[in-house]
Amino acid sequence: MILTVTLNTALDITYRLPGLRPHASHRVTEVTERPGGKGLNVARVLAALGHEVTVTGFTGGATGRVVQEQLTATAGVVDALVPVTGATRRTIAVVDQGTGDTTQLNEPGPTVTSAEWSAFQEAYEDLLGGVSAVALCGSLPPGVPVGAYAGLVRSARAAGVPVLLDTSGEPLRRGVAARPDIVKPNAEELAELTGSHEPLRATQDARRRGARAVVASLGAQGLLAVAPEGRWRAAPPARVHGNPTGAGDSAVAGLLSGLVDQLPWPDRLTRAIALSAATVLAPVAGEFDRGAYEELLGRVAVTVEVTAA
């Protein structure tokens, strides 16, 4: 069983329209709703790959009920979300079908009380006893301490559970210092953490700050991984066009799946890149184009990184 943590869960709403113009009214041609937040996207991809997954985090209000109702219909995913008084947020993706570009609007999330945070920590500690890996994903809702992920990383390490951290800003800075097994920042998050815009130097610096392995997402350029076993770059065979929402979450699912399956790093990166690209080709976050994924597995380029920092 794999555990994914999404402290700031969401209901992802995707609007598709022929073209997006500022200061104009638009007629939406298609609307889809899915349980969202980074960890829930990761969980759905893992379940589609055949893994059993438990999801936890916070849920509340009418939006939270919709999220949970849809989760119960997802094969392979177990709902262990913790209730809060506030309402689960919504995230809105507006897809311009003419250009393929996506505009994202993210609500902040409910304010979590100290009692609700304590209840979550107890539930999390209990869940750690029966899982093979944990992913800590996404932003913190209001009220959750900025060092929350650092504490959750330490709890996982104390339980002997490998932990992947995917967040940003100060929660990432503090979380890295708690020594997670893997961190997966994008280029902007990595630069903010380290002060360096040179990917290899920044990735190595992030490792020195405490992470055992760092996998940096470089957009269309793919992934750069620095681990005790070596350094690699992995990239898709060609640039893919579509909705990028959830592509990074699918990469996390690939890395976590590869960790649990005990794959060598090049194979983990291949899986992560293929899933990420196949997600761009899918209509909504947390899903991937199965045919594209299987085809891409044999075409991802993974090279040993030898450039000096």
Catalytic annotation, residues: 249
SS3 annotation, 131-163: CCEEEEECCCCCCCCCCHHHHHHHHHHHCCCCE
The sign of the torsion formed by the CA atoms of 27, 30, 35, 39 equals: negative
- Rounded Cα–Cα distance for residues 256 and 235 (Å): 18
Q: What is the DSSP letter of 19?
A: -
How far is CA 274 from each of CA 15, 187, 196, 232, 248, rounded to the nearest angstrom?
25, 19, 28, 16, 11
State the Cα–Cα distance between residues 112 and 290, nearest whole angstrom. Answer: 37
As a whole number of angstroms, the distance between CA 137 and CA 168 comes to 10
Q: 10 Å Cβ neighbour count for 63? A: 21
The single residue listed with the structure tokens 């891409």 is 296
Question: Taking each helix axis from N to C terminus, what angle separates 199-208 and 187-194, rounded to the nearest 10 degrees?
Answer: 60
At CA 212, angle to CA 182 and CA 235, rounded to 5?
A: 50
Q: What is the 3-state secondary structure (H, E, C) of 45-83?
A: HHHHCCCCEEEEEEECHHHHHHHHHHHHCCCCEEECCEE
Bridge-based pairing state of the strands 213-217 and 223-227: antiparallel
**7, 62 Cβ separation under 8 angstroms:** no
